Amino acid sequence: MYPPIQLFDPASSTYTYVLHDPATREALIIDPVDEQLARDLAVLRERGLKLLWTVETHAHADHVTSAGLLAEHAGARTAAPEGCGIGTAAVQLKHGDVLKFGGEEMLALHTPGHTAGSMSYLWRGNVFTGDTLLINGCGRTDFQSGSAAALYRSVTEVLFALPTETVVWPAHDYQGRTHSTIGAEKAGNARLGGKTLAEFTAIMDDLNLPKPRRIDEAVPANQSSGLRHDAGGGGAEPRAAQGYAGDVTPQTAYEWWKQGQAVLVDVRTDAEREWVGFVPGAVPLAWKQWPGMAVNVAFDEGLKAAVPPGKKALLMCRSGVRSIAAAKRATELGIEAYNILEGFEGDPDENAQRGKRGGWRLRGLPWRQG
Ligand SMILES: N[C@@H](CCC(=O)N[C@@H](CS)C(=O)NCC(=O)O)C(=O)O
């Protein structure tokens, strides 16, 4: 028996969990936080883990997931509860579904209440309860399709039906506690232990919690796996804090390019350009290349040669994620670099197919194949 790896984001008091199969090193991550992307990639690298899945317990209101970024950087597939409106997740989980990693299996349990789609996940005597059941507490039920009655049923009928020794791993703790057990929560949870539905509803009605600070930004971002394509039509959305000049829509990028202000650099692989299509006149300069998607050692020299002083660089990849890494590198090289939102093909749709959700091609901008 080995425990999950528990990681903490202090800004949102969020716990992220990494589970793995020690034999195959295949892993899964639950509720990753975008600001902790570098830490999580380092954990995976240091432990020699291959990330197969990113999994959400629900669309969070207090922080943004790194699921989309992990899919891009670590090659994971995204999974999320089907009732959470996370249309970009490749797998929409239903109650009873199983996610496999190596010889391990994790079972999805629909536990609505904090949100209508919320799920908990059961793995080897551990239950990851998201915001359904917290240590000596529970998720609030006053927004985002929350329901105190649904949460009461989820906890008392689904989670409390698990063996008492089952270890409870919540999505948050605001007081530094790390885990609990079903037995301890059944006996002592101040909101739910031994309480009737009426008592519980009265407690929840009385909480009067302030709205999470980032709710208006976080929920829509989480419903697209944390990939924020939110730049306004006209100009660039400043992203200086993130290490590059900004994000631009494909249309804005096209205008800047046509006006001669900027050089359009396609950072996809040769194979992507060949098979999916390319923009005539764009500079082909891969950020990463097969095999292994290692960073292209000729990127820096190629970029410096392609972008004359005084011109901006517009970086385009498949969906606007790899191009962020390339834009950061370009900025380090002293170039005013912008990421093109949505990339060439946009995000995957509900069938995990690209090309229907945004992207240079869908926006009707010039491109060719073959
Ligand atoms: N103060 C935090 C939010 C705290 C909060 O509302 N947490 C939610 C989960 S995102 C909750 O369900 N809390 C239950 C509780 O505090 O009892 C923020 O501004 O982000």
Residue 277 near residue 365, CB atoms below 8 Å: no
| 59 and 194 housed in the same domain | yes
For ligand 1, the distance from its centroid to the CA atom of residue 60, given in whole angstroms, is 10
Q: Say whether both 205 and 272 belong to one domain.
A: no
Q: Is residue 362 part of a domain?
A: no
Position with higher pLDDT, 184 vs 3: 184
Q: At which of 160, 192, 222 does a domain end?
A: 222
> What per-residue confidence (pLDDT) applies to 103?
97
Quick one: pLDDT band at residue 243, thresholds 50, 70, 90?
Answer: confident
Percent of the chain topping pLDDT 90: 78
Q: Specify whether 243 is located in the same domain as 211.
A: no
Q: Look up the CATH number of the domain holding residue 256.
A: 3.40.250.10
Task: Kindly indicate the confidence band of residue 355, based on its pLDDT and cuts at 50, 70 and 90.
Answer: confident
Residues 171, 42 within the same domain: yes
Identify the band that residue 233 occupies on the pLDDT scale cut at 50, 70 and 90.
very low
Residue 235 has pLDDT above 90, yes or no: no
CB count, 10 Å around CB of 195? 17
In a domain, 248, yes or no: yes
Rounded Cα–Cα distance for residues 365 and 370 (Å)? 17
Same domain, 255 and 203: no
Tell me, in angstroms, the distance from the centre of ligand 1 to residue 140's CA: 7
Q: Region 246-262: what's the mean pLDDT?
A: 90
Question: 212 CA to middle of ligand 1, Å?
Answer: 6
Total domain count, the chain: 2
C-alpha to C-alpha distance for 318 and 341, rounded to whole angstroms: 10
Same structural domain, 190 and 266 = no
pLDDT score for 117 = 97
* Residues 74 and 207 both lie in one domain: yes
Q: Are residues 37 and 118 in the same domain?
A: yes
Is 91 a domain residue? yes
Q: What per-residue confidence (pLDDT) applies to 228?
A: 64
Residue 299 · residue 286 · CB < 8 Å = yes
- Predicted pLDDT at 72: 81
Pocket of ligand 1 (CB under 6 A): 12, 61-62, 131, 137, 139-140, 172, 209, 212-214
Residues 215 and 326 in one domain: no
- Which residues are within 8 A (CB) of 97 and not within 5 positions of it... i.e. 6 or more apart? 91, 107, 108
Q: Sorting pLDDT into bands at 50, 70 and 90, what band is 230?
A: very low
Asked if the structure places residue 359 within a domain, the reply is no
Distance (angstroms) between ligand 1 centre and the Cα of 210 equals 8
Percent of the chain with pLDDT over 70: 95
Residue 18: the pLDDT is 98
Q: Would 249 be classed as within a structural domain? A: yes
Identify the CATH number of the domain in which residue 194 sits.
Answer: 3.60.15.10
Task: Look at residue 343 and tell me whether its pLDDT is greater than 60.
Answer: yes
Distances (CA, A) of 312 to 138, 247, 340, 365: 49, 12, 12, 19
Residues 71 and 215 in one domain: yes
Q: Which domain holds residue 289?
A: 237-340
Instruction: Assess whether 87 and 170 both reside in one domain.
Output: yes
What are 35-89's pLDDT values in tens digits? 999 899 999 999 999 999 999 999 999 999 999 999 888 889 999 999 999 988 9
Please give the pLDDT value at position 73.
Answer: 84
| pTM metric for this prediction | 0.69
Q: Tell me what the pLDDT averaged over the chain comes to.
A: 92
Q: Given this model, what pLDDT does residue 369 score? A: 87
Amino acid identity, position 367: W
User: For 97-107, how does the pLDDT look when each residue is reduced to its tens digit (9 = 90+)?
Assistant: 999 999 999 99
Q: What is the pLDDT of residues 169-225, one digit of tens each?
A: 999 999 999 999 999 999 999 999 999 999 999 999 999 999 999 998 899 899 999
